[in-house]
Amino acid sequence: PARYFDTKTTEPISFFLTGLEELLAWQPNSNDDFNVSAVPLAKRQPPLQSRRPRTLVCHDMRGGYLEDRFIQGSATRNPYVFYHWRYIDIFVYFSHHTVTIPPVVWTNAAHRNSVPVLGTFITEWTDGEKLCEAFLAGGEEAYGAVAEQLARIAQHYRFDGWLVNIENKLSAAAVGNLPLFLQELTARVHSAVPGGLVIWYDSVLKDGTLRWQNELNDANRMFFDACDGLFTNYNWKEEQLERTQRLAGPRLNDVYVGVDVFARGDVIGGGFDTDKSLRLIRQYGLSAAIFAPGWVYEHLGKENFLQNENRFWGLLAEYLPTHSICTLPLTTSFSLGMGTSTFLDGKDEESGPWYDLSAQDIQPLYPENQGTLSTSCCLQDAWCGGSSLQLQGTIPPGEERVAVRLFSLQMPAPPKLFLTLLYKLEGPQPDDFTVALEVTTWDSGMCFEGNPTSLPEPNGRYHPRFLPAPPPGLAKLLAACHRGSHGWTSRCYELELQDCSLRDLSLIVSRQQPSLQETSFTCLLGEVRVLDTASVAASPPQVHGVTASQLWWQ
């Protein structure tokens, strides 16, 4: 069927639904299996519901369902990717189709990085009016059926809820039932999807007129009260933030103030000045909804996209509270889910562009220190996948080392950790530097390394013990320890901790010799792993009952 498979290539594709009839007729179907997310939403700290301002990203690019609709990837040159997941809390996939089911590749990438994904339910223009009249004015049975279908769709495809956007005027009967519909949808999504969310877009008012308010006020508050949050329109002024803050009360973090990166209309900031809007929003303790950050790709072009993207998010970083990883194992090759080649064990196995967000790895923080350090993605060389993480920086005169924070962690440390690192030093004198991992722990009088006789480290910094060879129990898994090849160096480490809580994983680049000169370095990171030794020793579960269906031989 054309909905599920591309007519030219027969490859499985992601799809949307159009109109009320398609929505109400939707049933799970065996052709659907490709569209079900295979990656559960990873846990994070602090949890999404904690009391702090959040950041929502609303992805709207040229109507949606572009190359990202190909579930098994495509040979796209210079595709759009998003990878600053540590800095955002919610990802919305937006299009103008009635029911936007997020392409599963986005759900997979976001979930791997602890970010929930929402689809969009939108009605607009005169067709939207008719559609709303049919299901909202029709009473409880009619709007209940729509709420049930939307919740079933999110549950079936394993994404996390809906942005609801009613962009047309409503009759008195329809608008009277709208808060009830939102309550019903929210209750159904919460029960069908763990951690599910329903967010309302600032559009229609309690009297049924379509007038964007750019704030939370008495004309739209009943919709906010009926669901998990409000996403405001973009043309706000500071006094509206103040009023919103007052009215939202304890639910202040549930108001997502809209910021249009394209800066259409009378807005503050936009483009590389988006930090101006965020600074104001955060002054009032409100959450932010960044709309169409694909501006970087669409407006500035594909060629220097990765550089421009790092610059865009780097300018916003101080206003974006990050979330930490709280489960092990942590393993990543830093792949973006795209590349100009495919690498395996440091070797370029296959030249040619590829794009598959499902293959994106857990992403690190992207720290920038003006002048002394920059973190970027390198497509020209990688250990595994399509890219490595490139760290470029300088060690200041008289200092011996520089630390690059890769991941923030928040979890109890297991008694014994095993860490692996693959790196490549580039530049004129690679032998002048050494590279190692550092683990920091949260302050605690209880936390010790190894045996209780060792003294606690100042500021909880631990340097895992270098292992020349993997321990016998792990030798098979970590044949890796010897496997530096194609210029990559491999390192294995062990760290024993008692009663500690992990905080950060950093890379330390040190000079071999002290120097009064400033020294520049370039280091590619190919892979990092942090493993709980106890669980690694256990053998992985066996796979049973594999079936293959719909085989086409070409």
Domain co-membership, 458 together with 375: yes
Decide: helix, strand or coil at residue 404.
strand
State how far the Cα of 262 lies from the Cα of 530, in Å rounded to an integer. Answer: 40
Residue 387 included in any domain: yes
Per the DSSP assignment, residues forming a β-bridge with 260 are 291
Please give the angle made by the CA atoms of 59, 63 and 67, to the nearest 5 degrees. Answer: 80
Domain co-membership, 466 together with 334: yes
First to last CA, the chain: 19
State how far the Cα of 349 lies from the Cα of 356, in Å rounded to an integer. Answer: 17
Residue 151 included in any domain: yes
Domain co-membership, 352 together with 212: no
The first and second tokens of residue 29, run together, are: 């179907």
**What residues contact 333, with CB distance under 8 A and at least 6 apart?**
361, 382, 383, 384, 385, 388, 526, 527
Segment holding 286, helix H or strand E: none
Per the DSSP assignment, residues forming a β-bridge with 331 are 529
User: Helices 140-157 and 125-136 sit at what angle, rounded to 10 degrees?
Assistant: 110
Domain co-membership, 291 together with 344: no
Domain co-membership, 113 together with 162: yes
In this prediction, residue 459 carries a pLDDT of 61
Decide: helix, strand or coil at residue 353.
strand
CA of 337: how far to CAs of 56, 379, 416, in Å? Answer: 21, 11, 32
Q: Is the dihedral of CA 427, 430, 432, 436 positive or negative?
A: positive
State how far the Cα of 77 lies from the Cα of 338, in Å rounded to an integer. Answer: 9
CA of 22: how far to CAs of 3, 32, 517, in Å? Answer: 12, 15, 68
**What residues contact 256, with CB distance under 8 A and at least 6 apart?**
54, 56, 199, 229, 230, 231, 232, 286, 287, 288, 289
Domain co-membership, 303 together with 349: no
Q: In which residue are the tokens 């990438």 written? A: 109
Domain co-membership, 146 together with 21: yes
Q: Is the dihedral of CA 274, 278, 280, 281 positive or negative?
A: positive
DSSP per residue over 174-243, as a string? HHHHHHHHHHHHHHHHHHHSTT-EEEEES-B-TTS-B---SS--TTTHHHHHTSSEEE--S---HHHHHH
State how far the Cα of 155 lies from the Cα of 26, in Å rounded to an integer. Answer: 13
Domain co-membership, 437 together with 296: no
In this prediction, residue 547 carries a pLDDT of 87
Bridge-based pairing of strands 465-467 and 519-532 is: unpaired
Q: Please identify, among 287, 313, 339, the residue that sits at the C-terminal boundary of a domain.
A: 313
Domain co-membership, 382 together with 256: no
Question: Residue 276's CB: how many other CB atoms inside 10 A?
Answer: 14
Number of domains in the chain: 2
Largest Cα–Cα distance of the chain, in whole Å?
Answer: 78
Residue 33 included in any domain: no
State how far the Cα of 162 lies from the Cα of 120, in Å rounded to an integer. Answer: 5
Domain co-membership, 303 together with 335: no
State how far the Cα of 93 lies from the Cα of 84, in Å rounded to an integer. Answer: 16
CATH of the domain at 197: 3.20.20.80
In this prediction, residue 515 carries a pLDDT of 83
State how far the Cα of 392 lies from the Cα of 287, in Å rounded to an integer. Answer: 33
Residue 2 included in any domain: no
Segment holding 272, helix H or strand E: none
Residue 551 included in any domain: no
State how far the Cα of 539 lies from the Cα of 525, in Å rounded to an integer. Answer: 28
Residue 38 included in any domain: no
Residue 95 included in any domain: yes
In this prediction, residue 232 carries a pLDDT of 98
- 210, 203 in Cβ contact below 8 A? yes
Question: Residue 76's CB: how many other CB atoms inside 10 A?
Answer: 16
CATH of the domain at 370: 2.60.120.260
pLDDT values of the chain reduced to their tens digit, one per residue, 554 residues: 789 999 998 899 999 999 999 999 999 998 889 999 999 999 999 999 999 999 999 999 999 999 999 999 999 999 999 999 999 999 999 999 999 999 999 999 999 999 999 999 999 999 999 999 999 999 899 999 999 999 999 999 999 999 999 999 999 999 999 999 999 999 999 999 999 999 999 999 999 999 999 999 999 999 999 999 999 999 999 999 999 999 999 999 999 999 999 999 888 899 999 999 999 999 999 999 999 999 999 999 999 999 999 999 999 999 999 999 999 999 999 999 999 999 998 999 999 999 999 999 999 999 877 668 899 999 999 999 999 999 999 998 888 999 999 999 999 999 999 999 999 998 777 788 999 999 999 876 677 776 544 455 556 788 888 877 766 666 666 665 555 678 899 888 999 988 889 999 999 999 888 888 888 999 999 999 999 988 876 777 889 999 887 777 66
φ/ψ region of 337 (left if φ > 0, alpha if ψ in -120 to 50, else beta) reads left
Range of the domain at 82: 16-28+52-313
* 292 class by beta-carbon count within 10 Å (0-12 exposed, 13-18 middle, 19+ buried): buried
- 87, 322 in Cβ contact below 8 A? yes
Q: Please identify, among 286, 313, 340, the residue that sits at the C-terminal boundary of a domain.
A: 313
The first and second tokens of residue 370, run together, are: 């003006």
State how far the Cα of 219 lies from the Cα of 211, in Å rounded to an integer. Answer: 10
Residue 373 included in any domain: yes
Domain co-membership, 216 together with 353: no
Domain co-membership, 307 together with 344: no
Q: Where are the alpha helices (DSSP H) in 92-139?
A: 104-112, 125-136
In this prediction, residue 552 carries a pLDDT of 73
